């Protein structure tokens, strides 16, 4: 596969709703459903892209990096236990990075340079600065879509009232006063639930963002 084709496919990655993702994990882990496995791998491909985007090399080297990262993602999908209280994205990013780092060590710095290393080869590129789509890079598109899905997943893990408030305020664009009336709670209680929910979501996403 060429780099252009890979990036074109990446832009087509569809976000999964939390309930849909849970059902895919159930179908794959309980029934060995291959279509569910493939969909999960496609959904988390932006993790591979974002990690690979931190490396420089010619097109062949970059595609090798993406391939290694995808192998790490596949291993993560196959070995992940969705019943454990661990976000898959955090579990997968270590596998992806590990595969890419092992590849870089095997091939040497002439094949693949860290983004922090000096760039001497005029033909070397990074994924983020080489391919543009209008005013927005493919990296930004992939990052935005993936992070939105992760925020939704984190919100699903909140206590019920905090989840209702955050869904109402940020997704349904309801006014806090309207939520207070609907939920039969004081306005101050709504604001407190909102603050607590946002803090919990940030905590759940903080480890992922360290690698992102």
The pLDDT score that the predictor gives to residue 170 is: 86
Q: Count how many domains the chain has.
A: 1
Greater model confidence, 74 or 13: 74
Q: Is the pLDDT of residue 208 over 80?
A: no
Say yes or no to pLDDT of 11 above 50: yes
Residue 7 structural domain: 3-131
In a domain, 195, yes or no: no
Q: Is residue 65 part of a domain?
A: yes
| Residue 57 in domain | yes
Which pLDDT belongs to residue 119? Answer: 42
Q: How far is CA 52 from CA 49, 127, 134, 192, in A?
A: 5, 8, 22, 40
| Assigned domain for 181 exists | no
Asked whether residue 12 is domain-assigned, the answer is yes
In a domain, 37, yes or no: yes
Q: Is residue 179 part of a domain?
A: no
**Nearest 10 degrees: CA dihedral of 10, 12, 13, 16?**
170
In a domain, 183, yes or no: no
Q: Look at the pTM and tell me if it is higher than 0.75.
A: no
CATH classification at residue 76: 1.20.120.1810
Query: What's the whole-number average pLDDT of the chain?
Result: 80
């Amino acid at each position: 596969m060429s780099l252009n084709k890979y990036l074109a496919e990446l832009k087509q990655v569809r976000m999964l709703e939390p309930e849909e993702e849970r059902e895919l994990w159930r179908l794959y882990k309980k029934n060995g459903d291959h279509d569910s496995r493939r969909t999960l791998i496609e959904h988390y491909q932006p993790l591979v892209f974002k990690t690979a985007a931190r490396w420089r090399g010619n097109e062949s080297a970059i595609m090798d990096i993406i391939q290694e990262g995808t192998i790490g993602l596949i291993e993560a999908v196959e070995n992940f236990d969705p019943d454990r209280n661990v976000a898959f994205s955090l579990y997968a990013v270590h596998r992806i990075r590990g595969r890419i780092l092992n590849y870089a060590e095997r091939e040497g710095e002439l094949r693949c340079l860290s983004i922090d290393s000096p760039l001497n080869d005029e033909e070397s590129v990074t994924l983020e600065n080489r391919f543009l789509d209008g005013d927005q890079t493919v990296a930004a598109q992939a990052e935005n879509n993936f992070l939105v899905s992760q925020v939704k997943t984190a919100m699903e893990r909140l206590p019920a009232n905090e989840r209702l408030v955050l869904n109402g305020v940020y997704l349904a664009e309801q006014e806090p006063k309207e939520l207070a009336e609907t939920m039969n709670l004081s306005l101050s209680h709504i604001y407190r639930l909102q603050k607590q929910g946002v803090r919990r979501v940030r905590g759940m996403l903080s480890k992922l963002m360290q690698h992102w």
